[in-house]
Amino acid sequence: MSGWLFFKNFLQNPRSVGSVWPSSRYLAEAMTKDIAFDADFVVELGCGTGSMTHHIDAQIANKENYLGFEINRDLHVGLTKRFGSLRIVKDSATELRRYLPEEDQPINVILSSLPFTSLSPALSEQILSLYVDALAPGGLFRMFLYTHTYPMPRNQRFIQHVSQYLELTSVETVWKNFPPAKVVTFQKRSTAAERWSHETIRPAPQTSGGFASLPTHSRPGAAQQPLK
């Protein structure tokens, strides 16, 4: 699918598409590295034009260990033509439970291209709580943010917010992407995995950019890595 079709869809749905141009192969490589594609069950959120999907498709041993979500009809049509052997559903990431092969299917890796901080705060929270709970102990949640927006308070608050539940393990800059992006990886601790508490999810204060202000400390045992 061409970048221009992606751009057209951005113009029609800027908050949902969240980016003017598809991800580069450099970003896709950074998003898909260090994953055990021979065994892991991988869920991709917001497949878009399929930049990440292509790298997953090339590496995943068992195609049944993949589930992708793309809400946009035009983009979904392109994805199904290109990746006939992967299960990519035209639905919202919020509908995860409807599509898992087994109700208790462990998810080892979540690769998200969703523009979390431009979606409505309620939708972001709904998706995050669902996927933090569904992630297997030891599993990875990986997403990206554009470098120029990364320091913005709303994005930093978002990262802190997720860090309450998952351990922030790395932040890698991909300069060759347009625009440059940071790949942010979180991991669910193997023990004492805590369920997302909806009590912490409250309407955003006026200045929060959508996410509730957080205490400066993480939850006990959550050794937070310095942000690069």
Ligand X SMILES: C[S@@+](CC[C@H](N)C(=O)[O-])C[C@H]1O[C@@H](n2cnc3c(N)ncnc32)[C@H](O)[C@@H]1O
Residue 44 DSSP label: E
Q: Quick one: 1 or 167, whose CB is closer to ligand X?
A: 1
Beta bridge partners of 141: 110, 186
Q: How far is the CB of 181 from ligand X (least distance, A)?
A: 10
Q: In angstroms, give the least distance from the CB of 203 to ligand X.
A: 20
Instruction: Tell me the β-bridge partners of 181.
Output: 146, 174
Nearer to ligand X, 1 or 168 (CB): 1
Cβ closer to ligand X: 143 or 166?
143
Q: How many helices (H) and strands (E) does the chain have?
A: 8, 7
DSSP 55-76: HHHHH-S-GGGEEEE---HHHH
| C-beta of 110 vs 167, nearer to ligand X | 110
Which is nearer to ligand X, 44 or 167 (by Cβ)?
44
Q: What Å distances lie between residue 41 and 94, 141, 179, 222, CA to CA?
A: 18, 12, 29, 25
> What is the smallest separation between the CB atom of 53 and ligand X, expressed in angstroms?
8
**Cβ atoms of 88 and 70 closer than 8 Å:** yes
Measured from the CB atom, is 111 or 167 closer to ligand X? 111
Per 3-state DSSP, the chain is made up of helix, strand and coil in percentages (nearest 5) of 35, 20, 45
Euclidean distance between CA atoms 157 and 215, whole angstroms: 10
Q: How far is the CB of 77 from ligand X (least distance, A)?
A: 12
Could you tell me the smallest distance in angstroms from the CB atom of residue 12 to ligand X?
10
Could you give the CA distance from residue 212 to residue 50 in angstroms, rounded to a whole number? 32
Binding region for ligand X (CB under 6 A): 6, 16-19, 22-23, 45-46, 48-49, 51-52, 69-72, 75, 92-93, 113-115
Spatial separation of the C-alpha atoms in residues 119 and 140, rounded to whole Å: 22
CB of 148 to ligand X, least distance (A): 15
